[in-house]
Structure 1
């Protein structure tokens, strides 16, 4: 590869990144907020999370980059959300953001002023490591006065725990969802 080729590929990569960010800010996030306003119950929100990307009038390859599909089985996540809707958590933590599907759904059942924290390991082996350009998309999931905190770090690192404690202040978590490292040993360690 020559310097000219390298520069060309960097330039093309930068243009693609700018195009994705512009699409996100001008089209995808406003479309998400508009469409989610048409959801009236948990079933609607679950269906929305699995199918939102299909509502985007974009080329398939670009459209698929905006999926917010949860990795869970629809019926299982719906049952969990029904339980959470009764709890109405004020502070919740998710380990494993992936495509943001459960993050979106948890925001829908949390209190309007909830603290929602999501920890994800960049480059994680189990679907983690969302690109930085998705951060504004994930932040757009917040309802009313909710505050979403996205922590891109190892959930097992003591520094990550300190960040979470700072965010919560004197508060406690109402709900913890561990869906990150999918090995038994690391999940048990996380408890």
Structure 2
């Protein structure tokens, strides 16, 4: 009789676990779906971050006016600063550091079609931010090194240095170094110097 009671209690315990209390397996299973969702969100976030740093992000939505800019990076040539920077392992965000307010403003301008382009498709007026202050910021170009390494540049006489010119710093980096078009040696407005490969002038 005692044996029957014990087996009956075991059945009740088993039935109770099945009916009223979740098993250990079901406790584990309730975290599977949220875990998968979190993992997918993380992977998508990482993927978006990588895409956001690539040129194709810029014209994925804003085809007009970003196409010519992306084209200059992906199919540009030596002598275009953006192309040269990409070849050196940089990306768009190395120079175009995104600010949320600026990006929201750009989206609003694009969606309202409130921008103008010139006959070649470039934004007009274009924003030229290639100043010495910008280019020589921390982690980018060291102007002391740039100056010391460009005396007698491109086989010119030793006294010529476009980064230490008699213009007394009246020129900014962007006057010569063009990001998305061919760079121009402004010195040759007066002189006849050898220009770097791919440059005009």
TM-score band, normalised by shorter chain: under 0.3
Larger strand fraction of residues? 1
Determine which structure has more spread, i.e. the larger CA radius of gyration: 2
Task: Give the TM-score, by structure 1 length.
Answer: 0.27
Task: Give the TM-score, by structure 2 length.
Answer: 0.26
